[in-house]
Chain A
Amino acid sequence: MSKDWPLWEVFVRSKNGLEHRHFGSLHAADAEMALENARDVYTRRNEGVSIWVVESKHITASNPEHNAELFEPAQDKVYRHPTFYDIPDEIKHM
């Protein structure tokens, strides 16, 4: 038979208060096995308190070729930053 195990992406929360971060990927037959494998592959030294796994095919990624239209419009919007606004020097905490 020999059907290949699908690829999973692994996200780990290293401690409470922090977000889950992408750690890498692995192969597993199902979600439960992906979790167990992720524990062995990515958290052998207390690197995590929580793991998410998602089958890689379910992730939609932006294409770097479209980076210009996606991300460049934000570059000239300086008015989104506090330093754009003039306020008197006497105002200390703002």
Chain B
Amino acid sequence: MSEDQIKNLEAQFEARIARDEKIEPKDWMPEKYRQTHIRQISQHAHSEIVGMLPEGNWITRAPSLRRKVALLAKVQDEAGHGLYLYSACETLGVSREELYDQLHTGKAKYSSIFNYPTITWADIGAIGWLVDGAAIINQVPLCNTSFGPYARAMIRVCKEESFHQRQGYEIMMTLANGTPEQKEMAQDALNRWWWPSLMMFGPTDAESVHTAQSMKWKLKRKTNDELRQQFVDQTVPQAELIGLTIPDDDLKWNDKRKSYDFGPIDWDEFWQVVKGHGPMNKERMNARVSAWENGEWVRDAAVAYADKQKEYKSKQAV
């Protein structure tokens, strides 16, 4: 194809998206669109998969059967989210093995939030309330994104997320209404998870490189800072209602903006964790890689069994 022809195709392509048409896997697309989507969807899938690790840590130690079934169901949902997203990503012509390989070799990123440890049971409450809460705000606009398989996966994901946040908030509420030690445990979890949760929306708009392109392709509808503000405004009253304090001395209601002003985020910490120096980066990758490697013989046995069954059936047919 000549350069002019490609330019023409690109213009038509952008116009389709502007008209709110969806792009499906076999449609022509600019190479950059394909690459950007492979990167974003796979990072999203990796985050769902690695995100199971901090919570999985508490399944056997959940304080009651009610909490245990809820946490188990939530973690299972996250596995499901990872699988919906991996298969959406594979429609772009990348294989599952390549995607896993990118994760396991550290070539691909996942959400930094999962590089923090879950030290107490209250951390499970804080994750559901804050981390799933922030994820929902990030994900809802993606239900309308331009790439059909991604949008469809996100609709399923968003439907399932709201229980995650509610179960987390219920845990926090119960602890906050409990003994002084339990309340302290809840406050401590909020103190540790608050700032990393704000970082989940990504760098400030001034620093964010992809925003304009992402807006055009409907990978984004609002900027990082707008989404972060939305999260703060929605979460502060929720903390107040259960008697917990947001760990930010600069936090105060701004009557002119009808929003909360909040203190500066420690972006050095954010970049440190992104670059692999967070408290749990190594442990998360070790857990993930060894789960994959230790499962190899099971995957191989399943293939051997399937081959044998096929052979058996074809012999019977003769």
Contact = CB atoms under 8 A, between A and B. Distances in A.
Say whether A associates with B: yes
Contact of B80 (A25, A33, A44, A64): A44
B216 to A, nearest CB: 21
A2 B83 contact: no
Interface stretch (A3-11, A73-81, A84-92): A3-11
A36 B265 CA distance: 45
A64 B24 contact: yes
A19 interface: no
A24 B310 CA distance: 25
Interface in A32-60: 33, 40-41, 44-45
Contacts of B302: 5, 29-30, 33
A2 B97 CA distance: 11
A37 B76 CA distance: 12
A3 B303 contact: yes
A94 interface: no
Contacts of A30: 302, 305-306, 309-310
Nearest to B96: A27
Nearest to A65: B28
Interface residues of A, number: 21
A24 B153 contact: yes
B84 A63 contact: no
A2 B87 contact: no
B83 A5 contact: no
Interface of A: 1-5, 7, 24-27, 29-30, 33, 40-41, 44-45, 61, 63-65
- Of A4, A29, A40, A61, most buried by chain B (CB within 10 Å of CB) is A29
A39 B95 CA distance: 23
A44 B79 CA distance: 12
Report whether over half of chain B's contact residues are helix, strand or loop; otherwise say mixed.
helix
A26 B83 contact: yes
Interface of B: 24, 26-28, 73, 76-77, 80, 83-84, 87-88, 90, 95-97, 152-153, 160, 296, 299-300, 302-306, 309-310
A26 to B, nearest CB: 6
Contacts of A24: 84, 87-88, 152-153
Given A26-B83, A41-B83, A44-B76, A64 B303 contact: no
B306 A29 contact: yes
A30 B302 CA distance: 8
A40 B305 CA distance: 21
Contacts of B97: 4
Nearest to B163: A45
B87 A64 contact: no
Nearest to B300: A1
B299 A29 contact: yes
B290 to A, nearest CB: 16
A10 B87 CA distance: 11
A3 B300 contact: yes
19 contacts: A1-B304, A2-B296, A2-B299, A3-B300, A4-B95, A4-B97, A7-B90, A24-B84, A24-B88, A24-B152, A25-B90, A29-B305, A29-B306, A30-B309, A41-B80, A64-B24, A64-B26, A64-B27, A65-B28
A13 B136 CA distance: 28
